[in-house]
Structure 1
Amino acid sequence: MDRIATFTMNPTIDAAYETDRVFHTHKMRTQGEHYDPGGGGINISRVIARLGGTARAYYASGGATGVALDGLLDLHQMVRHRIPIAGSTRISASLYDRESGKEYRVVPAGPSFTEEECERCLAEIAQAGCDYFVASGSLAPGVPEDFYARALAACRQRGIRFVLDTSGAALKATLEAGGVFLVKPSLGELQALVSKPLEGLREIADAARAFVRSGQTHYMAVTMGHEGALLAHEDEVVCLPTIAVKAMSAVGAGDSFLAAMVFSLANGRDVTEAFRYGIAAGAAAVLTPGTDLCRREDVERLYREVAPLSEARVIG
Structure 2
Amino acid sequence: MNPALDIATSTEVVIPTEKMRCGSPRYDPGGGGINVARVVKTLGGAAFAVFPAGGPSGQSLEGLLARQGVPHIRIPVEGVTRESFTVDEQRSGQQYRFVLPGPSLIETEQRTCLENLAGYLAGARFLVASGSLPPGVRADFFQDVADLAAGQGVRFILDTSGEALRLTRRGVYLLKPSVRELRECVGRELSSEAEQIQAARDLITEKRAEVVVVSLGAKGALLVTERRYERFAPIEVPIRSAVGAGDSMVAAIALGLVRGMELQQAVRFGMAAGAATLMTPGTELCRRDDVEKLYLEQSPNGNT
TM-score normalised per structure 2? 0.96
| Residue in 1 that maps onto 2:135 | 141
Aligned residues of 1:209 and 1:237 also touching (Cα < 8 A) = no
Among the aligned pairs, what percent are the same residue? 45
| Residue in 2 that maps onto 1:107 | 99
Deviations 1:74-128 (A, max 9, x none): 1111101111110011111000001111111111101001111111111112222
Displacement of 1:73: 0.8
Deviations 1:48-82 (A, max 9, x none): 01101120000100111111111111111110111
Partner SS state of residue 222, structure 1: strand
CA distance in 2, matches of 1:194, 1:92: 29
Aligned residues of 2:175 and 2:213 also touching (Cα < 8 A) = yes
Report the residue type matching 2:147 in the other structure. Answer: A
Deviations 1:215-273 (A, max 9, x none): 11111100001110011111011111111111111111100111000011111112111
1:196 matches 2:185:
no
Deviations 1:134-158 (A, max 9, x none): 0111001000011110111111111
Partner SS state of residue 277, structure 1: helix
CA distance in 2, matches of 1:64, 1:240: 42
Aligned residues of 1:181 and 1:219 also touching (Cα < 8 A) = yes
1:45 matches 2:37:
yes
Report the residue type matching 1:203 in the other structure. Answer: E
Report the residue type matching 1:23 in the other structure. Answer: I
1:83 corresponds to which of 51, 75, 90? 75
The answer to which of 216-225 and 203-212 deviates more is 203-212
Partner SS state of residue 297, structure 2: coil
1:117 matches 2:121:
no
Q: Name structure 1 gaps, 5 residues minimum.
A: 1-8, 310-316
1:209 matches 2:201:
yes
Report the residue type matching 2:187 in the other structure. Answer: S
CA distance in 2, matches of 1:223, 1:296: 21
Partner SS state of residue 31, structure 1: coil
2:258 corresponds to which of 261, 266, 276? 266
CA distance in 1, matches of 2:135, 2:300: 43
Q: Measured at CA, do residues 196 and 308 of structure 1 come closer, stay the same or move farther in structure 2, by a change above 3 Å?
A: farther
Partner SS state of residue 15, structure 1: strand
Query: Which residues in structure 2 correspond to 1:1-316 (within 5 Å)?
Result: 9-128=1-120, 129=122, 130-174=124-168, 176=169, 178-306=170-298, 308=300
Aligned residues of 1:11 and 1:60 also touching (Cα < 8 A) = yes
CA distance in 1, matches of 2:299, 2:13: 39
Displacement of 1:307: 5.8
CA distance in 2, matches of 1:188, 1:17: 28
Structure 1 residue ranges, 4+ long, deviating more than 4 angstroms after superposition: none
| Residue in 2 that maps onto 1:3 | none
Displacement of 1:20: 1.1
CA distance in 2, matches of 1:264, 1:208: 22
Aligned residues of 1:17 and 1:33 also touching (Cα < 8 A) = yes
CA distance in 2, matches of 1:64, 1:243: 39
CA distance in 2, matches of 1:116, 1:173: 21
Report the residue type matching 1:219 in the other structure. Answer: V
Report the residue type matching 2:167 in the other structure. Answer: A
Partner SS state of residue 41, structure 1: helix
Report the residue type matching 1:299 in the other structure. Answer: V
CA distance in 1, matches of 2:79, 2:154: 30
The size of the alignment, in residue pairs, is 299
Q: Name structure 2 gaps, 5 residues minimum.
A: none
